[in-house]
Homo-oligomer: A and B are copies of this chain.
């Protein structure tokens, strides 16, 4: 390596960056879609042995599409890529946060239209990146009924993208490799035909759902590490998503 240029490790560990975990833990409270198999954690061995030494090893089980997870294109596209085949150069990419939470204003019927975005999708989008829409919904994650907007008749109600926005992103912004949301689905909770899932998967994009956005993350300048459990044939998988961000200097007083 050239001696005069800083290396990745030089930059990454020089104190100017911080790691922000955008992942909910998997435990008994992890939110799954109604009728999906929730996360189950089964204690198998947790005891001191005859030699006095502690030993713990457990089992777990879950549906692919709960908690913080990734949808591979195969979820809604029979010829789409499965989780195990998602290329790393689409999983380690610049992160854009499109914060539309003030426009949502806690309204579970909000559906994101193109005009809401104004100039948010700007020219920073020249290279591969992932865009995560912040609806401001993470604050409800500890209240499953509120987060999913479960209605008396069992239907759901939480904000999401319109088909218009999905079409626009996939047609006009070819550099966007995936779409994330801080809700349980890229489609609005009330959707019955999932147009955003269909449009995104047909274009080869992945989705990131239940992204944990309950602390401040800069809109631009972060790097997303999007590393799902490598379920070879998965239509989706539990995801660890971490943002590496320039340390934030308070600018609001």
- Report A's interface with B, CB cutoff 8 A: 1, 6-9, 11-13, 17, 19, 21, 23-27, 36-37, 41, 44, 46, 48, 51, 53-65, 68, 74-78, 84, 88-89, 92-94, 127-128, 193-194, 198, 221, 223, 225, 227-236, 238, 240, 242, 244, 246
Contacts and interface: CB of A to CB of B under 8 A. Distances in A.
A46 B127 CA distance: 34
Contacts of A235: 46, 56-58
Contacts of A232: 25-27
B63 A59 contact: yes
Protomer copies: 2
A63 B58 contact: yes
B8 A11 contact: yes
B55 A234 contact: no
A128 B12 CA distance: 12
A48 B79 CA distance: 12
A242 B88 contact: yes
Contacts of A21: 88, 230
B127 A89 contact: no
A89 B8 CA distance: 15
A78 B9 CA distance: 34
A57 B63 contact: yes
Contacts of A225: 92, 225, 227
Contacts of A74: 56
Closest 8 CB pairs of A and B: A61-B61, A227-B240, A25-B232, A56-B235, A19-B88, A27-B232, A54-B78, A227-B227
A235 B236 CA distance: 24
A149 to B, nearest CB: 21
Nearest to A47: B78
A229 B221 contact: no
Contacts of A92: 12, 19, 225, 242, 244
A166 to B, nearest CB: 14
Given A76-B55, A94-B13, A240-B240, A233 B41 contact: yes
B58 A61 contact: no
Contact of A57 (B57, B68, B227, B236): B236
Given A54-B76, A56-B76, A92-B242, 17 more contacts: A8-B12, A8-B223, A9-B94, A13-B93, A24-B230, A25-B84, A25-B231, A41-B231, A53-B198, A55-B75, A57-B236, A59-B63, A59-B64, A60-B61, A88-B242, A225-B225, A225-B227
